[in-house]
Structure 1
Amino acid sequence: MKLIKISILLLILTCTSCQNNTSKSISDASKDEIKYAVGLSIRVEDDYTVVTVKNPWPNAKELFKYVLYKKEIVVPDSLKKYTQIQVPVKNLVATSTTHIPSIEMLNQENKLIGFPNLDYISSTKIRTLIDQKKIKELGNNQSLNTELLLELQPSVIIGYGLNNNNPTLENLKRNGLKVVFNGDWNEQTPLGKAEWIKLFGALFDQQKEANQIFEHIKNEYQKTLELVKKSKNKPTILAGSTFEGKWYLPQGESWGAQFLSNAGGNYLWKKTKGTGSISLSFEEVYEKAKEADFWIGPGQFTSLYELAITNSHFTQFKAFKTKNIYSFSTKKGKTGGVIYYELAPNRPDLVLKDLVKILHPELLPNYQLYFFEQLK
């Protein structure tokens, strides 16, 4: 079971003469392109862009800066200490399924040449390229196939880390490959995660297209938030499920809990602090949530029967009796990857609409669930 967590990047000035090259850096007049992602900054000026990734993993101390420049442009001396990448990049390697939708939405899937654990990818377009042997299998994130990567010589590797111990990526950098950290998984808001498409827009020199895509997602999300205000009913919600004897639920400040609140639900653990998960006993959960109206995201379970035979006590929840249990684990790609894990961070508008449809179906009468499905 793979939880893809994911969180987190400034701008630059062009120069037209060698004299200016040594004195100019980032213009004070330039504006940050990023509004919601706290770990990403993108500052654009003429032919230069400076991308800053602030928090690619929790409590990261270092800022990671990347200077993106166009062909025949000379990078100012003041910026040469940072990783320099010519854009648009010719090709790239991605390392998380959450990177895939951004690449696809920008119609750049043909530039993806390598990925670890290809079976996790659900995208139909990307799977076609995999079947055509156009994307190489790179092993796993902890031990990427260095030899193959050096042979491929990608323009850039989009990497992520759970902490500052990334020996494989550091080794690739020592061998001359360009690594850009992506901290989308470490963002804690729905729109913050989705805004990381702008990183790929900068790398593909498609800032305009990336901005337009994000604006559409943001506008749809905000329109749905306004729609929710029409409903005064706030059904109670249980979430998560048991794993190895403990019940895991999202903490009240987490990405998942924010969706439940924004969709007009009363998540029973909304007041808990933190952005991760809570570990509770079955008895604690049952006592508080036995009368919950809905059960959202019951872990790996994909049917009522499976829940019942795993633990007969599951059948005592009101949500089980009324069949108000909805899961995203039933919808998978060709090779078993859960579509939600890949696409949901990039499309919070669809997640929110799904939850509104579940909790307040009268608000979206013609909408069909995209990620979630009612268990039968």
Structure 2
Amino acid sequence: MKILISGLGVVKLLLFFTLHFSLFTFIACDGNKTKQAEEEGDTIPMRYARNLTIVEYPDYTQVTIRNPWDTTKVLNSYTLVNEKQGLKGEVVVPLRNAAVFTSVHCSLLMELGCQECIGGICEPEYIHIPYVHKGLKEGRIIDLGNGMEPNLERIMALQPDAIMLSPFENSGGYGRLERMGIPIIECAEYMEGTPLGRAEWIRFYGRLFGKAEMVDSLFLQTERSYLQLKEASSKAKQKPRLICETPQSGYWYVPGGQSTMGIIYQDAGTDYLFHDIEGSGSTALSIERVLDRALTAQVWLVKHHGPLNREQIVQDVPALRKIPAKIWLCDTYSSGFYEETPFHPDVLLSNLIQILHPELGIKEEKAYFCPLE
């Protein structure tokens, strides 16, 4: 039987096949993007981090960072791949040569055994890691200048796989640095509201350097240790009254009750005298307002970049002499406090519990705070 097709029918038939062939070609050419959009991945449960999401797919890992200053928005997203696939926000991992702007992340890479991946750093005067300074001297590591205004020519010469830096609110982007086409890893863990939430970001950073299993295990150890210490301190019969820090430029900056440090102080079994101060950061209070509470304090924790004695603490504000509390000093220059405690809050917690509740017999892993005689 013959089928007769009119001229108009031929046109329609050709149009049908043309459209479907074009659609097939589009899908084939754009297969990576379609694949990225349609595949279902395994979401890694974040137990404490509120601004971080990690989803693992067969061929890549999707990382999304929520904007901590506007939680309705995304700060950045990354697609971690083993080789270039043309995906959005692509970062080829493991990183082999990174520009690391902050000392805390340099310290983390040392812990993960990835120190050879540190290709460039900023502000070496604030990094107290012998390996880094030896690398600078030998030319294996490049000094990229100030973290807020890095030397772009040196970054271009380094050709890093990625740049790790800490973002700030209303920074307005990264200008020429952003236009260099190098992935910028925004390390926003410091904006998490809890010690374990901040520490959990190690699970993201480890995946950048091919250490997924290692960092997952490390975090579980940190979590277990922290919760055990918190439980132990809750059994203490007394809660020493605690204050912290010293006046600066006419104000006394204290961590709020819901800040990372405020929570650690309370988890250590103290009556933190500023627990009712709202906010997840530090709050500037008048010296008089702090003194109203400080006159009943039993423990006074002070952090300072270098050695300090009691007379130096009180000399500018004579009224501080009235505070009866015993002073414990953390020399942040030599102790590694800022480099180590963000990802190991349990170590700091053990030190604080030993100070506040020696009767519990908690063995501290490291003494960040030491008594000031």
What percentage of aligned pairs have identical amino acids? Answer: 28
Please give the alpha-carbon distance, in whole angstroms, between the structure 2 residues aligned to 1:259 and 1:29. 35
Query: Could you state the TM-score of these two structures normalised by the residue count of structure 2?
Result: 0.85
What displacement does 1:29 show?
Answer: 5.0
- What is the aligned counterpart of 1:326 among 320, 325, 328? 328
Is 1:25 the equivalent of 2:36?
Answer: yes
Query: Could you state the TM-score of these two structures normalised by the residue count of structure 1?
Result: 0.84
What residue is the counterpart of 2:353 in the other structure?
A: 356
Please give the alpha-carbon distance, in whole angstroms, between the structure 1 residues aligned to 2:166 and 2:313. 34
- What is the aligned counterpart of 1:51 among 39, 63, 82? 63
Deviations 1:263-322 (A, max 9, x none): 000011111211122222222222222021111225567211212433332221111xxx
CA distance 1:232–1:146, change in 2 (3 Å) = same
Contact 1:224 1:352 in 2 (8 A): yes
What displacement does 1:142 show?
Answer: 1.8
Bigger Cα displacement from structure 2, 310-319 vs 240-249 = 310-319
Aligned AA (2:63): V
Please give the alpha-carbon distance, in whole angstroms, between the structure 2 residues aligned to 1:19 and 1:281. 60
Say which SS state the counterpart of residue 136 (structure 2) adopts: helix
Say which SS state the counterpart of residue 34 (structure 2) adopts: coil
Contact 2:353 2:362 in 1 (8 A): no
Contact 1:69 1:84 in 2 (8 A): yes
Q: Counting helix residues as a fraction of each chain, which structure ranks higher?
A: 2
CA distance 1:29–1:138, change in 2 (3 Å) = closer
Please give the alpha-carbon distance, in whole angstroms, between the structure 2 residues aligned to 1:316 and 1:298. 20
CA distance 1:280–1:20, change in 2 (3 Å) = closer
Deviations 1:10-60 (A, max 9, x none): xxxxxxx878645333644512253221111111122310111112x5237
Please give the alpha-carbon distance, in whole angstroms, between the structure 1 residues aligned to 2:239 and 2:210. 44
CA distance 1:136–1:200, change in 2 (3 Å) = same
Contact 2:199 2:344 in 1 (8 A): yes
CA distance 1:127–1:192, change in 2 (3 Å) = farther
What residue is the counterpart of 1:264 in the other structure?
A: 269
CA distance 1:41–1:283, change in 2 (3 Å) = same
What displacement does 1:178 show?
Answer: 1.6
Contact 1:241 1:299 in 2 (8 A): no
Contact 1:66 1:85 in 2 (8 A): yes
What displacement does 1:159 show?
Answer: 2.1
Write the mapping of 1:332-351 to structure 2, written as runs, cut at 5 A: 332-333=333-334, 339-351=336-348
Is 1:291 the equivalent of 2:296?
Answer: yes
Is 1:225 the equivalent of 2:227?
Answer: no
Write the mapping of 1:182-261 to structure 2, written as runs, cut at 5 A: 182-261=187-266
What residue is the counterpart of 2:81 in the other structure?
A: 69
Contact 1:93 1:156 in 2 (8 A): yes
Aligned AA (1:218): E
Please give the alpha-carbon distance, in whole angstroms, between the structure 2 residues aligned to 1:145 and 1:289. 45
CA distance 1:128–1:224, change in 2 (3 Å) = farther
- What is the aligned counterpart of 2:54 among 32, 42, 46? 42
Please give the alpha-carbon distance, in whole angstroms, between the structure 2 residues aligned to 1:261 and 1:371. 17
What displacement does 1:219 show?
Answer: 1.3
Say which SS state the counterpart of residue 153 (structure 2) adopts: helix
Aligned AA (2:144): L
- What is the aligned counterpart of 2:323 among 317, 325, 328? 317
Q: Which has the higher contact order (CA 8 A, sep 6+)?
A: 1
CA RMSD of aligned residues (A): 2.2
Bigger Cα displacement from structure 2, 238-247 vs 275-284 = 275-284
Contact 1:190 1:259 in 2 (8 A): yes
Contact 2:93 2:209 in 1 (8 A): yes
Say which SS state the counterpart of residue 286 (structure 1) adopts: helix
What displacement does 1:84 show?
Answer: 0.8
Please give the alpha-carbon distance, in whole angstroms, between the structure 2 residues aligned to 1:90 and 1:29. 26
Is 1:306 the equivalent of 2:312?
Answer: yes
CA distance 1:126–1:160, change in 2 (3 Å) = same
What residue is the counterpart of 1:12 in the other structure?
A: none
Say which SS state the counterpart of residue 280 (structure 1) adopts: strand
Aligned AA (1:58): W
Say which SS state the counterpart of residue 209 (structure 1) adopts: helix
Please give the alpha-carbon distance, in whole angstroms, between the structure 2 residues aligned to 1:52 and 1:365. 38
Contact 2:347 2:365 in 1 (8 A): no
Aligned residues: 343
Structure 1: 5+ residue runs without aligned partners? 1-16
Contact 1:101 1:346 in 2 (8 A): no
CA distance 1:312–1:164, change in 2 (3 Å) = closer
Aligned AA (2:231): E
Contact 1:157 1:178 in 2 (8 A): yes
